[in-house]
Chains A and B, each alone.
Chain A
Amino acid sequence: MEKMLMKGNEALAEAAIRAGCKCFFGYPITPQTEVAAYLSRQLPKNGGVFLQAESEVAAINMVYGAAAAGVRTMTSSSSPGISLKAEGISYLCGADLPCVIINVQRGGPGLGGIQPSQADYWQATKALGHGDSRVFVYAPNSVQEMVNLVVIAFDKADEYRVPAMILADGLLGQMMEPVSFPEISANKTEKPWATDGHGNNRPHNIANSLYLKPDVLENSIWERDSRYKQMEMTETMADYYCCDDAEIVVAAYGASSRICKSAVKAARDQGIKAGLFRPVTLFPFPKNELKTACRNAKKVLTVEMSTGQMVEDVKLALECKIPVEFYGRTGGIIPTPDEVLAEIKKLNENKGE
């Protein structure tokens, strides 16, 4: 298959079209704007709808409407814009409507900066909206994976009736790499629940998140939670590099996992038994995969472009049986392979402790 060079943002936009995305609603924000720009040119050509909304709030609610109508739909933003979308995402969860949400993360809080960051991990995986709501969170680490995971995100969102987020960052969005687009078979998921007009041949459908009776609401939440549990059992994804005999396992996702891979490679060159564990799904978090990766580990180092968020999930998954250390840079600073290598060396020297 011929490879072409594309920016991460453009690749995921193209992948969305190929995955059958019919409606995109968005609002400009750096560093994700190429997603919208690309789709404004290409989506109408492919029979879809591109609409620039008046706000992030409106955009996610347009997604809510399109999702309720039964079409594949997507929005894209960057950290501050995702905060604005939080309301709509909670409603999408509450009404069990599938969609794909892109977050090309930048530094925060507030306006923060526009350089790459991974500081929205907690927001994405724990509380993207209010209430007992979760979304699939996929963390690509290459332009090719931006493509592959967008396709999976659409499929899984439909299958589980749970929104799916692609948690990327400014580095992945802006970088160009060779990428190829696999043939994608059209979505087969039936949507008998869609509010697309009953055509006088079925009872009316309702897309709704309001349940004023607590017992009814509780039941609906537990039912949804059982789907989250199912996701945790069958939908986790992870990637390993040199973990088999690794005494020092580095855990990192997205852009920082690439920096860590360089560092692990350098550590191996120096005779250190280092490995890299990379969660591809952040929710559900690949706990068992992490345990497998750490079967020979004496120390674990979590590296993030944040002050330390995923590190909590790593500790929980390992049940504090292996010491877990953290190294992070934040605010738009990308850690260097040398910095990570220095941390690996430090842990390697003290691995017996």
Chain B
Amino acid sequence: MAVVFEKPHALTDVDLHYCPGCTHGIIHRLVAEVIDEMGIEGDTIGVCPVGCSVMAYDYFNCDMIEAAHGRAPAVATGVKRSLPEKFVFTYQGDGDVAAIGTAETVHAASRGENIVIVFVNNTTYGMTGGQMAPTTLPKQVTQTTPFGRDTAVNGFPIRVVEMLATLSGTALAARVAVDTVPHVKEAKKMIRKAFENQKNKTGFSVVEVLSTCPTNWGLSPVDSLTRLQEEMIPYYPLGIYKDVNVRTVREVNA
């Protein structure tokens, strides 16, 4: 019988624990497909975060390290500096990258640390039950912003890749989404580009993936995708904010 669909080798057989409709599974798959296609599973070390993807170490077939909350870029730095010829990626959420681990994220980028950060932005702390994240949108209701995020109290969401794009050490800063087939394809292309950068020793690459959290948003999976398109993308526009290999969105627009 012809095989028409199979799981990437870089994913294990362990059942994912993610909620129905959550897009983490897609993003895991994209990373695993890139690892398979580049044939680098045996040379790759992944670092997973604290948050919904905390157990990703069980899902990826390459060697995996579980880091403390926010510290994945520092842990990845330690691995990469020890084993410069190996591939090192982190898989992190918004709280990890942009709140408790902001310093680690920014300084890994500023050092041009030759690693890949796959940054999953779903505008909430999913695992702990849907509290405000650094990327929670203005007026968004969460468990800790029950009347909606009040920017006078809680400040403004952080546009992470725009911020990291300003740093000289950043090779690639891009934002993608996994809400439609074309976007999923584009997301994979960007993750591949990030890993290729690492192979070519180009420097720090971060790919922000706009993702959904139907459970904590209180929406159906389909409505969640609509919210991603109507509320998140306008605030977090998709595109390449920095690519040392080509001209950036801004440069093209200028």
Q: Do chains A and B touch in the complex (CB under 8 A)?
A: yes
**Contacts from A to B (Cβ < 8 Å):** 22-23, 25, 49, 51, 53-55, 57-59, 61-71, 73, 87-88, 91, 95, 195-201, 204-210
State A198–B81 Cα separation when bound (angstroms).
18
Contacts of B68 in A (CB 8 A): 61, 64, 87-88, 91
Assess whether B209 is interfacial by the CB under 8 Å rule.
Answer: no
Contact check, B75 vs A65: say whether CB atoms are below 8 A apart: yes
Please tell me if the beta carbons of A64 and B71 are within 8 angstroms of each other in the complex: yes
Given known pairs A58-B104, A196-B83, A197-B44, the reply for A65 and B78 (CB within 8 Å) is: yes
B86 x A54 contact (CB < 8 A): no
Q: How far is the CB of B249 from chain A (nearest CB, A)?
A: 28
* Chain A residues closer than 8 Å to B64, beta-carbon distance: 195, 204-208
Contact A73 B82 (CB under 8 A): yes
Within 8 A of A (CB), among B32-75: 41-45, 47, 54-55, 57-58, 60-68, 71, 74-75
Contact with B78, one of A62, A205, A206 (Cβ below 8 angstroms)? A62
Determine the interface band of chain B, counting residues with CB < 8 A from chain A.
35 or more
B66 and A206 contacting across the interface, CB-CB below 8 Å: yes
- In the complex formed, the residue of A with least CB distance to B47 is A65
A66 touches B45 (CB 8 A): no
Knowing A68-B75, A198-B42, A205-B63, say if A55 contacts B81 (CB, 8 Å): no
* A54 and B103 within 8 A (CB): yes
Picked from A58, A65, A69, A198, the residue with its CB within 8 Å of the CB of B107 is A58
Residues of chain B within 8 A of A205, CB atoms compared: 63-64
CB nearest neighbor in B for A62: B78
Given the complex of chains A and B, what is the CA–CA distance between A65 and B54 in angstroms? 16
**Are A200 and B82 neighbours in the complex by a CB distance under 8 Å?**
no
Asked whether A95 and B66 contact (CB < 8 A) given A68-B75, A196-B45, A197-B42, the answer is: yes
Known contacts A57-B71, A95-B66, A204-B62: does B78 contact A23 (CB below 8 Å)? yes
1/0 per position for B84-127, CB-CB distance to A under 8 A? 00100000000000000001101100000000000000000000
Q: By the criterion CB–CB under 8 Å, are A200 and B41 in contact?
A: yes
Q: Are A200 and B42 in contact (CB under 8 A)?
A: yes
From A25, A59, A204, B63 is in contact (CB under 8 Å) with A204
